[in-house]
Amino acid sequence: MAAMKPRTGDGPMEVTKEGRGIVMRMPVDGGGRLVVELNAAEASSLLECLKGVVGE
């Protein structure tokens, strides 16, 4: 079983609207952040997927 490690990313998780897109910055293990740009339809789809996992 893998050991649980604390998040070591450079900065917090954040989501901002930049121009016509939505930019999500998520810390990753080992440092740095994963940056993903989404449009409104993709963000809505991600929201529904996360709700299914989280249970809201």
pTM above 0.75, yes or no: no
Give the model confidence (pLDDT) of 2-56 as tens digits. Answer: 555 554 457 889 999 999 899 999 988 888 888 999 999 999 999 999 999 998 7
User: Residue 27: which residues within 8 A CB-CB, separation 6 or more?
Assistant: 7, 8, 9, 10, 11, 12, 13, 33, 34
User: Residue 38: which residues within 8 A CB-CB, separation 6 or more?
Assistant: 21, 22, 23, 24, 46
Domain boundaries, the chain: 14-54
At 46 the pLDDT is: 94
